[in-house]
Structure 1
């Protein structure tokens, strides 16, 4: 199956890629990506070769990722915001046949498109690897997840059955292409026939929503929080057909605010290893139920005896790239252990309780920080919270909290009294730190929990 050619035959002159300077139809996309694929082959890139692309979102990056997919090479978009030594480590482990930074990539694509003729050999095998997407990591070594064409194909197909995206629709590329949520947009576009809007890297989200005819949007909670406070932000969000929200836990106040503003919000739970979405709300959320929607087609979810979320299905990745070898990450029954704790209802709705590795023991009791965070954000005036363990001579560990609160939020004594009555003394943080902005994972809007954990250990 060659997806770009198929999309060109099906959707023809419908818009496929929209930028500040140009619009590509699906037919245009077919021609340009064919020329880029030919250029890669002329540079001695063959099927199965890894090509690393260290660059921000751009039309050149979108076209190159599609061209590599067409010819059977393996695209490895790398977080360009990582420190230089971190990028060097990632590249050393990938050992790519070619590496292109932003400047080289732009020049390569411009030269390829200017040439005539396209004689590359298209690859159609569904089970071949097409991408290496790294898991988020603020320190240490991020894992390199390898996905097949089949993984991404079934991920997009299952998503579309729940949330259609077709001709006349436009999805803003608001997530980086080195993130599985961003990369998955290529397949939503090619299979559904909707357009992908690619803003300039320095464009503000609110500006892009005004500039492009956006109908669909993917955000993480921090982005939604900022948009709801931007001038005209709530009105623009209301005009969307769908806003897909995932990437991390959504605080109760943020969810209530979005519902109050009538944002067409779809909550989702997913992972890099599952090629993005696992569960998604079947309809726009109108109540703060606390779940992450229903299990999508081509996915299976189970809860282990100890409460861990297990996943498998057509979307489950091939494995991790480790020293040039593919290392599978499934148990003997084919399940991938996510490291997340959760509950699955009888109607296949998943509620995520928190990370298994975030749990700590205090005074002999298991403490889940997410439970405390939920209790904190239920207090009027507290908008976001992160709870981590701090060493304690008597209890071993005690919780401490960082909170983002409004000016009308209660003082610490009132917060402590409220928490003691709802979750008990042992789970009540021993210290509260009020902040204006979160420390986030480089190249991501996710709060860097490990950074706060290390801070608490000092």
Structure 2
């Protein structure tokens, strides 16, 4: 992609000068121009200064809608403030520990305030939005190398990792994406992924750099209804969402304005992809991660006996298949590091490679991801680490041993099943789910709770996890 937008220039202001009346947002069905969005961002910058936010401060957004998230990201870009959105489904204890670990000192929570977080953070209040907009005429220079976003991963332990990116990282990820997924000013992209995920944030930067339109809503809208009511050209989905559209809703996506589907988030279903392709859509599978700002590889998938590929290498990214088939990545989109106890720590080895923990190989010049080097698995686009669930289960009074493994699920790709050994040989599913809701995110709560098999190894001896995975493969057969 040839980008006329300079790296050191605010992309929103650039588009607001270039085409001020063009729609930057379709918000609840109302068109919001680039000039108006730019005006609102400017008001937020003024409010940040008035309320005491300073350069290099760290601002957490909790329960923010898509419009406010977009405005705050660009306001932080212009003021050299770190923007830190957080998944509101994380337990409050986890969010608090994350905020302390990342040294977050400001909280913006438009929906509900956390009194506990306010013990550690100042409260930032968004200004009222007015429509007295004037056409901007001066470009705004920004520091592309300054830290801009801090994204919380799903977390393999009690506290999620805080992955820090600069605007430069997001810029080159978006530019690289254009080589496989063209995006023009007349196009529109539905914000269908959460904006506390890097996949959602990437949609914002792709549209800003291309001068395209973001489509979003203040309240949840059924995806099928949205696709039939609005002319949406580009859509990011995980397998779960595609399943619901094609199977639950029985949609013919070719009858909408949709042209491109970017399918990520782990395991994808070949029959679902083929169905969408047969309806006339361009379906692109992608391999990416939070650390690389979203996409690393993207392309039309190759179907093989080994599985479905996840795309060709994008510009500005590099991949190496290392020992034990582990995938290493590096490139301009790679994160600046991880925030730990307020300090930035590198994510790479001495040669600049990030060790992903994924295993894979090349097939027809595309990456084929074959699995994980550890036990982490993906369910509906969310990372799930079995040991985190096991630790929470062991806090339940009657549970004395727990093993969590994935089983195949047609809608979510994989879901967790928990094998339990209890003091009374009973499994109270409702009580267990209630207990887990206080310790882990809702999407990590297992769908099934089953007793330890009689053939399992005795208590106190490390179990053979592979045997449990084999048992889980028999579920639903």
* TM-score band w.r.t. shorter chain: 0.7 to 0.9
Aligned counterpart for 1:393 among listed residues 457, 468, 472: 457
Mapped partners of 1:94, 1:430: distance in 2: 37
Mapped partners of 2:195, 2:92: distance in 1: 19
Q: Report the alpha carbon displacement of residue 42 of structure 1 after superposing the two structures with TM.
A: 1.3
Higher alpha-carbon deviation: 16-25 or 256-265 = 256-265
Aligned counterpart for 1:294 among listed residues 309, 312, 330: 312
Q: Report the alpha carbon displacement of residue 29 of structure 1 after superposing the two structures with TM.
A: 1.8
Tell me if 1:49 matches 2:57.
Answer: yes
Residue 372 of structure 2 is matched in structure 1 by 355
Mapped partners of 2:472, 2:338: distance in 1: 40
Q: Is the CA contact 2:187–2:213 (under 8 Å) kept in the aligned structure 1?
A: yes
Cα separation, partners in 2 of 1:94 and 1:261, compared to 1, 3 Å: same
Residue 434 of structure 1 is matched in structure 2 by 476
Tell me if 1:267 matches 2:285.
Answer: yes
Q: Is the CA contact 1:238–1:261 (under 8 Å) kept in the aligned structure 2?
A: no
Cα separation, partners in 2 of 1:213 and 1:311, compared to 1, 3 Å: same
Mapped partners of 1:49, 1:374: distance in 2: 40
Cα separation, partners in 2 of 1:268 and 1:382, compared to 1, 3 Å: closer
Mapped partners of 1:396, 1:232: distance in 2: 41
Q: Report the alpha carbon displacement of residue 21 of structure 1 after superposing the two structures with TM.
A: 5.4
Residue 111 of structure 1 is matched in structure 2 by 128
Q: Report the alpha carbon displacement of residue 38 of structure 1 after superposing the two structures with TM.
A: 1.3
Aligned counterpart for 2:36 among listed residues 19, 23, 28: 28
Stretches of structure 2 lacking an aligned partner (at least 5 in a row)? 1-7, 114-122, 378-404, 420-451
Tell me if 1:235 matches 2:253.
Answer: yes
Q: Report the alpha carbon displacement of residue 22 of structure 1 after superposing the two structures with TM.
A: 2.8
Residue 416 of structure 1 is matched in structure 2 by none
Residue 13 of structure 2 is matched in structure 1 by 5
Q: Is the CA contact 2:338–2:345 (under 8 Å) kept in the aligned structure 1?
A: yes
Q: Is the CA contact 1:225–1:254 (under 8 Å) kept in the aligned structure 2?
A: yes
Residue 90 of structure 1 is matched in structure 2 by 98
Q: Find the residue that maps to 2:36 and give its secondary structure.
A: helix
Mapped partners of 2:338, 2:465: distance in 1: 33
Q: Find the residue that maps to 1:23 and give its secondary structure.
A: strand
**Structure 1 segment 86-235 matched on structure 2, within 5 A:** 86-103=94-111, 108-111=125-128, 113=130, 124-137=142-155, 140-231=158-249, 233-235=251-253
Residue 15 of structure 1 is matched in structure 2 by 23
Q: Report the alpha carbon displacement of residue 202 of structure 1 after superposing the two structures with TM.
A: 2.0
What TM-score comes out, normalization by structure 1 length? Answer: 0.76
Cα separation, partners in 2 of 1:324 and 1:264, compared to 1, 3 Å: same
Residue 353 of structure 2 is matched in structure 1 by 335
Mapped partners of 2:17, 2:97: distance in 1: 42
Q: Report the alpha carbon displacement of residue 71 of structure 1 after superposing the two structures with TM.
A: 1.7
Structure 1 residues 367-409: Cα deviation after superposition (integer angstroms, max 9, x where no partner): xxxxxx99989xxx999556889783398344446xxxxxxxx
Cα separation, partners in 2 of 1:333 and 1:39, compared to 1, 3 Å: same
Q: Is the CA contact 1:159–1:277 (under 8 Å) kept in the aligned structure 2?
A: yes
**Residues paired across the two proteins, number:** 391
Q: Find the residue that maps to 1:154 and give its secondary structure.
A: helix
Mapped partners of 2:22, 2:52: distance in 1: 33
Structure 1 residues 137-180: Cα deviation after superposition (integer angstroms, max 9, x where no partner): 37511100000110000000000122111111110000111000
Q: Report the alpha carbon displacement of residue 277 of structure 1 after superposing the two structures with TM.
A: 0.3
Q: Find the residue that maps to 1:163 and give its secondary structure.
A: coil
Higher alpha-carbon deviation: 167-176 or 11-20 = 11-20
What TM-score comes out, normalization by structure 2 length? Answer: 0.74
Superposition CA RMSD, Å = 3.4
Higher alpha-carbon deviation: 196-205 or 180-189 = 196-205
Q: Report the alpha carbon displacement of residue 67 of structure 1 after superposing the two structures with TM.
A: 1.3
Structure 1 residues 114-148: Cα deviation after superposition (integer angstroms, max 9, x where no partner): 79999x99561111100000111375111000001
Stretches of structure 1 lacking an aligned partner (at least 5 in a row)? 361-372, 402-427, 436-458
Q: Find the residue that maps to 2:42 and give its secondary structure.
A: helix
Mapped partners of 1:162, 1:383: distance in 2: 26
Q: Is the CA contact 1:56–1:80 (under 8 Å) kept in the aligned structure 2?
A: no
Q: Is the CA contact 2:406–2:417 (under 8 Å) kept in the aligned structure 1?
A: no
